[in-house]
Structure 1
Amino acid sequence: MRTAYQYKLRPTKAQGIEIDRWLSMLCAQYNFLLADRFDWYERNRSPIDACPLVCHIPELRDNPDYYSQKKTLPQLKKTHPWYGEIYSQVLQDIVKRVKVTFDRFLKGDSNGKRSGKPRFKARDRYRTFTYPQIKDGCLQGNLITLPMFGIVKVILHRPIPDGFKIKTASVTKKADGYYLTLSLEDTTVPSIKPDFNPESTTGIDLGLKEFLTTSEGDVVPIPQHSRKAAKHLKVIQKRISRRKKGSNRRKKAIKHVAKQHKKVADKRKDFHFKTANTLLKKYDVIVHEDLNVKGLSRSMLAKSVHDAGWSSFLNILTTKAENAGLLVIAVNPSGTSQDCSNCGVKVAKKLHERWHNCACGCSLNRDHNAALNIKNSAKFVGTVSVHKTL
């Protein structure tokens, strides 16, 4: 099993300056390696027989891949000696990050889905560096030893579980300080818990009026963290526009706004974790709609969809279910809101109609009816998935 724990770092003032310096140098190297990839791509992407009759044919060169770019790092340390102060594996992780980004642009991910064209990073948009390998025993009490950086104080608000091994460590700069993310692994944890019960199943319907409704009729209210904080955010965002660009007072106002946005995001994340824990304590199988959240985020409901954070919640729910040896199933959302959960007849309803009434006598809340349909549509899929997993 693989999981991640995040802790707050308490670096000294000198260590904070050093982290910022590392991030600045790594950002410059990331942009340089990405530019090298773009240079080859622009010069060599078009075959010769597809070029215009009159054109400049550039000198062909090998495609800069992961290994060829990694070989440039020793030369980088000779021409720019200050890069020698950064741990070698942290520099190599930059090369890997560029490779993954560019491969997703050209070839797509494991599902064949391609990403947009990679963008160069501004200094304030590059916030993380990673140690791909870290020694056992690097964390002693509330102190962690980072190679070629030093010993940094950590707020250890929860201990690392017994049997888990630290695989990677990442340092991230956020609006309210620095954070340490540890990737942990324990191969002895079973993928399915011993007393797994496939019959303990529920369907959940995600919404904007209520955050979710289960097939048993339980309702979780939607907190609307962003909308509740909108009034305060409006006041402090106006301070930015009133202050001179480049001034220290403007930078201070920007930092204040960033902290407030992080506070809203933390509240939303905390709500998602608590809701996922509540569901996984009651059920072993949870069924949800395979929603096109990206498409909904371009509609007139975009602000409410982003405030609800459906994608984040479903990712948290799926990850926690895997770690707990439970199952989360995504089903086709077609017809779940319109079909009757009792007889299966389509009962057309507009979005503002919140009650389901069918000629068969079924009368219940629209979201409850949808949750029942979601649960029923996963009966066969869930059985197959459980047998494959077991």
Structure 2
Amino acid sequence: MLVLEYKAVVSKQQTTAIEEAIRTTQFIRNKAIRFWIDAPRELKVNKIALNNYSTALRKEFVFVEQLNSMACQSATERAWTAISRFYDNCKKSKVGKKGYPRFQHDNRSVEYKTCGWSLHQTKRRITFTDKKGIGELKLLGKWDIHAYPVKSIKRVRIVKRSDGFYVQFCLDIEVSLEPRLGEGEIGLDVGLEFFYSDSNGHHEENPRFLRKTEKSIKHAQRQIYKKEKGKNQRRIARQRYQRKHLRVSRQRNEHSKRLGRDVCKLNSLVAYEDLNVKNMVLNHCLAKSINDASWGIFRRWLEYFAVKFNSTVVAVNPKMTSQKCSDCGIIVKKSLSTRTHKCSCGCELQRDVNAAKNILNLAKARVGHTQSNATGVGTSTLVGANLLEQVLTVNVESPPSMYS
């Protein structure tokens, strides 16, 4: 699935109509969750039952009927996604919270399927034909949607962000492969001092996007509370604060995308740490720095570009990779403050470089069990553990940074 995103030019009337469609989507999803909660045990609520329930809502509420029927089905599918995730976590006996479906209060998108919209011949304008009154939207962007047939467009979303509205086209096509420029093998050790250190001794600087703009963000946040509630100036101050966070988010994504592309383009084997970031951020002393590093985004882009360049990516259990000598294999205990690895065998390396070499060695020992294909699904093998973890990746190109 390929996603192309355009900035939409909207009027005040269209803004009101889009926000009404988004609220309707949220209403349908929440009603579907309530229907699932209140359903008796003997009644098995599945995806089809929720779709039928959306039809009943259209007959009961006029504002629901004004939304396209397939958009109503998309809203109930969102509810079913939350429900099925909860069922899966229960079957897997996931430790901790199982993700019980909750009611949504901050929905920011409405999704149409194959009807309810029509593209202009130039494919630079799109018209939404349901009764919400959105009408024709002008599209701004550099993506060439002309190259794809209209039949390949399976979903169209309108997404609300702090700097305006965006239209996303979800295309059911295979992403074209690109030639790889190198056949190297590399291990990556992510960290906070450096964004990552590789097995070749290179250190990629940590950009710390949030830290650099934290003072400006805090100032914008204070300005919100200086404005009177319910006034237009408070709304403007809140939007200014949101745009600053949006810019940081885009900077992180573009930075991770650039590095992930460069790494996979030059190497046939890429090994990285299989980190549980969700648990790591429970440390309140390091949570902000870990989130600012955005290791999870970097991993997703690695898995995506591994498919695009036909490279192999391997997720390695990071246990003892910093303590073990990459040359002789002896365990050399060291504290987190010790940044140099020194072994009795004469090996002396920067701590993260030593860990990266160990990560690469573990990956090469099991690389025969790892494969990736060109269908958008990459198989990442968790080396050093008892189970093999399969990570699904979605072929999604991020939008250009012209709106950052």
TM-score (norm 2): 0.83
Listed one character per residue, the Cα deviations across residues 327-375 of structure 1 (whole Å, up to 9, x for unaligned) are 2110111111110110010111111111111111111111111111111
Equivalent residue, structure 2, for 1:99: 80
Query: Which SS does the other structure have where 1:26 is aligned?
Result: helix
Candidates 291, 297, 301, aligned match of 2:286: 301
Change (3 A) 1:112 1:181: farther
In structure 1, runs of 5+ residues without a counterpart are 45-60
Distance 2:155 2:270 in 1: 31
Deviations along 1:202-244, whole A, 9 cap, x unmatched? 1011010000111111111001011111111111111222233
Distance 1:267 1:187, change over 3 A: closer
Structure 2 residue aligned with 1:141: 123
List alignment gaps of at least 5 residues for structure 2: 380-404
Partner-residue secondary structure (3-state), 1:186: coil
State the Cα distance separating 1:151 from its structure 2 match. 2.7
For residues 93 and 176 of structure 2, what CA distance do their matches in structure 1 show? 31
Q: Secondary structure at the match of 1:266?
A: helix
Rounded to whole Å, the distance in 1 between the matches of 2:346 and 2:235 is: 62
Within the candidate set 74, 80, 83, 2:61 is matched to: 80
Deviations 1:157-177 (A, max 9, x none): 121484673332211101111
Equivalent position of 1:335 in the other structure: 320
* Alignment check: 8 A CA contact 1:201 1:286 kept: yes
Cα shift at 1:187: 4.0
Q: Are the equivalent residues in 1 in contact too, given 2:271–2:315 (CA < 8 A)?
A: yes
Cα distance, 1:260 vs. partner?
Answer: 0.8
TM-score calculated relative to the size of structure 1? 0.86
Amino acid at match of 1:336: T
- Residue 326, structure 1, aligned to residue 298, structure 2: no
Task: Tell me, yes or no, if the aligned pair for 1:136 and 1:166 is still in contact at 8 Å.
Answer: no
Residue 271 of structure 1 aligns with which residue? Answer: 255
Which residue of the partner structure matches residue 162 of structure 2?
A: 175
**Is residue 2:201 matched to residue 1:220?**
no
Indicate the SS of the match to 2:331.
coil
> Which AA in structure 1 matches 2:153?
I
Q: 1:19 to 1:155 in 2, by over 3 A?
A: same
Post-superposition shift, 1:3?
A: 2.4
Once residues 189 and 263 of structure 1 are traced to their aligned partners in structure 2, the CA distance between those partners, rounded to angstroms, is: 29
The aligned residue for residue 225 of structure 2 is 241
Summarize the alignment of residues 112-123 of structure 1 with structure 2, pairs less than 5 Å apart.
Answer: 115-122=98-105
Paired position in structure 1 for 2:89:
108
Would the aligned equivalents of 1:196 and 1:326 in 2 still touch at CA under 8 Å?
A: no
Equivalent residue for 1:317? Answer: 302
Q: Per the alignment, in what secondary structure is the counterpart of residue 349 of structure 1?
A: coil
Partner SS for 1:254: helix
SS of the residue aligned with 2:103?
A: coil
The structure-2 alpha-carbon separation of the partners of 1:105 and 1:256, relative to structure 1 and needing over 3 Å to count, comes to same
Count of aligned positions: 366
Give RMSD over aligned pairs: 2.7
Q: Does 1:130 align with 2:111?
A: yes
Q: Which amino acid aligns with 1:295?
A: N
The 5-angstrom pairing of residues 35-46 of structure 1 reads 35-40=34-39, 44=41
Higher deviation after alignment, 333-342 or 318-327 = 318-327
- How far does the alpha carbon of each residue in 1:86-119 deviate from its partner, in whole angstroms, 9 at most, with x for none? 1111100111111110121233399775742222
SS in structure 2 at match of 1:239? helix
- Distance verdict in 2 for CA 1:319–1:106, change over 3 Å: same
Aligned with 1:75: secondary structure?
Answer: helix
Q: Which residue of 2 aligns with 1:69?
A: 50
Distance 1:187 1:102 in 2: 29
